[in-house]
Structure 1
Amino acid sequence: MFLSVTGDDANGDEGAKRGRRSIALRTAGLTLAGLLVLAAGAAGWAYWHLNSNITSVDIDNALGDNRPPKPVTTPSPSAPDLPSEALNILVLGSDTRSGEENRRLGGGDSGGARSDTAMVVHLDAGRTSATVVSIPRDTLVTRPSCPRADGDGSTAVAPSSMFNNAYAVGGPVCAVKTVESMTGVRMDHYVEIDFSGFARLVDALGGVTVTTEEDIDDDDSHLHLEAGIHHLDGTQALGLARTRHGIGDGSDLGRIGLQQKLVKALLDRIAAQDLLTDPARLYRVADAVTAGLTTDTGLDSLSELTGLGQSLQGLSSSRVRTVMMPVVRAPSDPNRVVADEPEARELWESLR
């Protein structure tokens, strides 16, 4: 004997099943919609947060038209998709003590900051090669008249002034104007990163590997390394970028070679990581890059920085030439240097 379900009873069960499926589908749909809203909200917050990290300075407006001309370039018919204009970017590392982390890492006096590191990065029109020129901070230059950072008039022209004083006197605007005055090269963009921003970037990338040719024993930069290959965290990499008393003759010239090694090590580290497949790491790197970052208004958004980064995807460290501006000891002070002419002028002319 068996029971069969027919008629109204069967239709009732089917209706109940359809009802349960409908409820389940609606629940799943609402859950998915909620997740999408949360994801969109998180993405929107992340974009806002990264943008808000960036500080910008309107250098173009501050300097006006009294600047070196922009080079005239034409698109290449053989590679129309490549960027058609060369770019010159002034990159500064500042020793500001603004913020607890910068003070812990050894920033400068709380009353001001100096350009601890200065490099002019020249990107060729196709973004397939680059030249990085380091400017010794102890270089004596004629500092031009600059708008004061507080807006109260302008500074006087200052002959035989140390290069890094330009930043101390007039901030990014005076630093750019001084570089343009001494080189005759238009700076298309300005990028400044402080101590904590640099250390966080290295840590977000998982450290960098460099080779030192001699032992480094420098209490001032808190760095003690034997000669050889080292994988450095952010604090150690910052110490390597800053050390001067533990190498060579203790001058700024000795550490420039270490800074240039770090530039190439960072490029290699970034190239070795497929950040697009690891959103969490990508965000950490982007957060580190933008934190402690000051740019001109042409690079003060995540979209503009991303566009510049995408144009450099084909640039490897092997295609980056690192040089120092040719200098000689200053006749007036053996602890200072001046541009070695005509070699320095010829170098800058090659970047115009």
Structure 2
Amino acid sequence: MPQKATPRHRAEVPRRQRRLRAALIAVVSLALVVGIGVTLVYRKLDGNLSVIDADALIGGDRPDEASVKATHKPLNVLLIGSDSRLGSDIGGDSSGLADTVILLHLSGDRDRAYGVSIPRDLMVERPACTNADSGVEIPASNGLEQFNAAFAYGGPACTMKTVEHMTDVRIHHFVEVNFNGFRDMVDALGGVPICVPEEVNDTYGKIHLRAGSYEADGRQALDYVRTRTAISDNGDVGRMRRQQAFLAAMTNKAVSLGTLVNPVKLYNFLDAATKSIRLDDGLDSPAKLGGLAKQLTDIGLDNVQFLSVPFDWWPEDRNRLILTEDADELWDLLREDEPLSRRLSTDVITAAEPPTKQQPPSGSGEDDPGAGASTTGPEPGAGASTPAQQEREERARENGLCA
């Protein structure tokens, strides 16, 4: 007798089960591989970090938190660029000082951020500090001394304490980046645009920069923000202004590339950054750093601003600086999480349009309708510069920026 044929749908059931089982195994295997990869990546970045307990070093007598209602807590982060040259081929002396200090304020609603440069030559009263490395107690200054002495005596925690003493503003975190870290971060972004008004050849610092607008790699960028007298007439004041311009351009590049929201780009950037930074234990993991960075993506580039604390020349020494009364207004705004006033906003640099590319020449500026974008000079018959343009160009020359 012929065998009875097996119904087709019954034969398909085992095959369908086998396919589902194979698909499930593939999904589980992929999840395990991804999970292991993420864990290894996290451990690698976490192992890069150098962390100190800043709160313990500062002590308990601290300014109050801002009493505002917002989605997040307003944050004040001290960004410190140290002049450490360990493991690098960078010229000059490593004096253990803070070349750059910027107080970065993030509003509670995360719709604005502004970074306030504090000059290294500012004369301040330094409170007693504990050295972060040795644990040695450092007595308070006897009168005024240079601001960057706080970092030399007690490291980043002492710098935080000095800023709090000067401003009565609570500092929540610090991030210290040395020369190598800065250079690697720029390279991780694929370079950052700069504009050098004239050729630089500084044999002491081993700084050589060609004139013009171009994408600077890590070494060129470091030279650009480090040189003091080669392209500016006012020494550290001009360098501070160039640092603001560069950070604005760097923020623009990171946001424009989607670095802060792209996992691969963010990893490359954090890997470069975490190898050469110190920070407080409130930012002691890649997840915390990445989470803070992603909060910045909601802030429009127009609302990321950089400025200098209002200062004047110290009458006793023209190489030193003192705060003006306008600084009190700035500290009040920081303390209350308020936007910058019109007066304090007159000379800010924004991340939307950082002055790192050559601007139209005199006679073809924004006050001249139909102006072109040439950088070779005004066209024959072009009008003269307005007083505002002349003032802007003069400030740019003093600071070593392109007008």
- Report TM bin, short chain: 0.7 to 0.9
**Alignment check: 8 A CA contact 1:140 1:336 kept:** yes
1:44 aligns with 2:29: no
Q: CA deviation at 1:270?
A: 1.1
Q: Where does residue 125 of structure 2 map in the other structure?
A: 142
- TM norm structure 2: 0.73
Change (3 A) 1:64 1:87: same
**Alignment check: 8 A CA contact 2:78 2:103 kept:** yes
Q: Where does residue 79 of structure 1 map in the other structure?
A: none
1:249 to 211, 223, 233: 233
C-alpha distance in 2 between matches for 1:218 and 1:274: 35
Q: CA deviation at 1:303?
A: 1.9
Change (3 A) 1:221 1:335: farther
Change (3 A) 1:70 1:214: farther
1:96 aligns with 2:84: yes
Q: Where does residue 397 of structure 2 map in the other structure?
A: none
Deviations 1:120-164 (A, max 9, x none): 111222111122111111112221111133113333434232111
Q: CA deviation at 1:255?
A: 0.8
Deviations 1:270-306 (A, max 9, x none): 1111347854333211211322121111111122222
Paired amino acid for 2:181: G
C-alpha distance in 2 between matches for 1:125 and 1:20: 58
2:207 to 201, 212, 222: 222
Q: CA deviation at 1:323?
A: 1.3
1:308 aligns with 2:303: no
Paired amino acid for 1:124: S
**Alignment check: 8 A CA contact 1:57 1:172 kept:** no
SS in structure 2 of the partner of residue 298 of structure 1: helix
Q: Where does residue 107 of structure 2 map in the other structure?
A: 124
- TM norm structure 1: 0.83
Deviations 1:189-216 (A, max 9, x none): 1111111111111111111112344544
C-alpha distance in 2 between matches for 1:281 and 1:180: 35
Q: CA deviation at 1:108?
A: 4.8
Bigger mean CA offset, 208-217 vs 308-317: 208-217
SS in structure 2 of the partner of residue 143 of structure 1: coil
What residue ranges of structure 2 are gaps of 5+ in the alignment? 7-11, 336-403
1:347 aligns with 2:364: no
**Corresponding residue pairs, total:** 330
C-alpha distance in 1 between matches for 2:258 and 2:232: 37
Q: Where does residue 330 of structure 1 map in the other structure?
A: 314
Q: CA deviation at 1:237?
A: 0.9
SS in structure 1 of the partner of residue 187 of structure 2: helix
Q: How does 1:60-99 map to 2 (within 5 A)?
A: 60-75=55-70, 82-83=71-72, 85-98=73-86
Q: CA deviation at 1:56?
A: 1.6
Change (3 A) 1:33 1:131: closer
Change (3 A) 1:290 1:332: same
CA RMSD of aligned residues (A): 2.8
1:263 aligns with 2:251: no
C-alpha distance in 1 between matches for 2:15 and 2:241: 71
C-alpha distance in 2 between matches for 1:271 and 1:146: 37
C-alpha distance in 2 between matches for 1:252 and 1:345: 23
SS in structure 2 of the partner of residue 131 of structure 1: strand
C-alpha distance in 2 between matches for 1:21 and 1:322: 62
C-alpha distance in 1 between matches for 2:27 and 2:304: 47
Deviations 1:287-343 (A, max 9, x none): 11322121111111122222212221122332122211222222222222222x212
**Alignment check: 8 A CA contact 2:209 2:220 kept:** no
C-alpha distance in 2 between matches for 1:25 and 1:127: 46
1:240 aligns with 2:235: no
Change (3 A) 1:279 1:186: closer
**Alignment check: 8 A CA contact 1:53 1:290 kept:** yes
Change (3 A) 1:20 1:231: same
Report % sequence identity. Answer: 36
Q: How does 1:30-41 map to 2 (within 5 A)?
A: 33-41=28-36
Change (3 A) 1:116 1:126: same
Bigger mean CA offset, 245-254 vs 212-221: 212-221
Q: How does 1:289-308 map to 2 (within 5 A)?
A: 289-308=273-292
1:187 to 146, 160, 171: 171
C-alpha distance in 2 between matches for 1:107 and 1:119: 23
1:281 aligns with 2:276: no
**Alignment check: 8 A CA contact 1:223 1:240 kept:** no
C-alpha distance in 1 between matches for 2:15 and 2:296: 54
What residue ranges of structure 1 are gaps of 5+ in the alignment? 1-5, 12-16, 76-81
Q: CA deviation at 1:44?
A: 0.4
C-alpha distance in 1 between matches for 2:129 and 2:241: 30
**Alignment check: 8 A CA contact 1:144 1:158 kept:** no
C-alpha distance in 1 between matches for 2:169 and 2:262: 39
C-alpha distance in 2 between matches for 1:279 and 1:68: 37
